[in-house]
Every structure is written in structure tokens, then in C-alpha cells.
Amino acid sequence: MQLIMSSPAVIDTLAQQSIIDPIHLNKYSILFRLCVAALLGGLMGWERGRADKPVGIRTMLLISAGAAAFALLGEQIIDASRRTDIIRVDPTRVLSYIISGVGFLGAGAILHSKRTVKGITTAASIWVAAAVGAACGVGQFMIAFLLFAISFITLWSPWVRDLASGKIDEELRQNSDE
């Protein structure tokens, strides 16, 4: 069985930049990371459900928690590989496979007909939920919460929705005509 090989410098550089945590995680840290990912993903799904979109709480929660689990597993493999000089793994591969795997889910959410394309926002939400989960999985809670806040405000705010649909432009034109 062939393992993904990488230079030791890559892992050491990432560890120094706190992108990966070289210490072994206890079960409570793992539980906390998964729960935060599930909570944030669930909230994103709640918003999609309120907007009457096909992807709701359960789907977004599972995507976010799943991405966190894969990121945690990658972190654990990296931690185990640091204990030996025989195996070196590339931590960026775990994240790249999460991104491409979630891309397939997002593509399934997009519906295309002759004149319209629907589901692009839901597909983007799926992708962001995975990013939030992956950030939680590697312990980068600041990134996770900021990304969640940006996406939640973007999805839920009537002002942003009106701006995207052109209602604000129409109101500005009507006011300038008066």
C-alpha cells in the first residue's frame, strides 16, 4: 500500500504556522470540534430550509460534520506520521479531497433548464458548510465562525437578498425619477 509522501519541511512549516496541531487530541477536543461543526452547519441548513430550498438542516449538518471528521482524521494521520521518520504525509491533500468531494454534492444541487439556472446559492452554501466544518476539524474556530457569520448574513439578510435580486437598484431608480 503506497502512502502519500511529502517532504518533512512541509509538515514542520505548517505546524509552526499553527495550521495543524502537532499534539494528540483528547476525546473531548474531538467531540467539541465535531459539535461546533455540526451546530454551524445545522444553522446554515436551517436558513436554507426557511428559504424553502431542497438542502436543509440535516444535509448541511452532515456535510459540515463530515468535513470536520475528515479534517480531524487527516490531523490524526499527520500526528501519527510525526512519530516515525518512515512515513510523511501531505496535510493539504485531505483538504483538497474534501473540496472536490463536496463539489460533486454542490453540482447535484444545481438545476439547469432552458432559461434558468437554480440552486447555485445552495451549491455555494454546501461548499461553505464543508469549509466551516474543515476549519472546525483542524481547530481554526476563528476562521469557522467568521466564515459562518459572512455566509449566514449573506444568505439571511433581506438587504443582501434585495441587492442581489435588483430590488434596491429599482428603488433607487424610482426615487431618482421623483
pTM of the model: 0.70
In whole angstroms, how far apart are CA 102 and each of 46, 160, 168? 19, 25, 33
Distance CA(74)–CA(10), nearest Å, equals 14
DSSP secondary structure letter of residue 55: S
Domain boundaries, the chain: 8-177
Coil vs helix vs strand at 118: strand
Tens digit of each residue's pLDDT (9 = 90 or more) over 120-167: 888 899 999 999 999 999 899 999 999 999 998 888 877 777 776 766
In whole angstroms, how far apart are CA 103 and each of 50, 64, 132, 159? 23, 13, 15, 28
Contacts of 170 (CB under 8 A, 6+ apart): none
Q: In the predicted model, what is the mean pLDDT of the chain?
A: 78
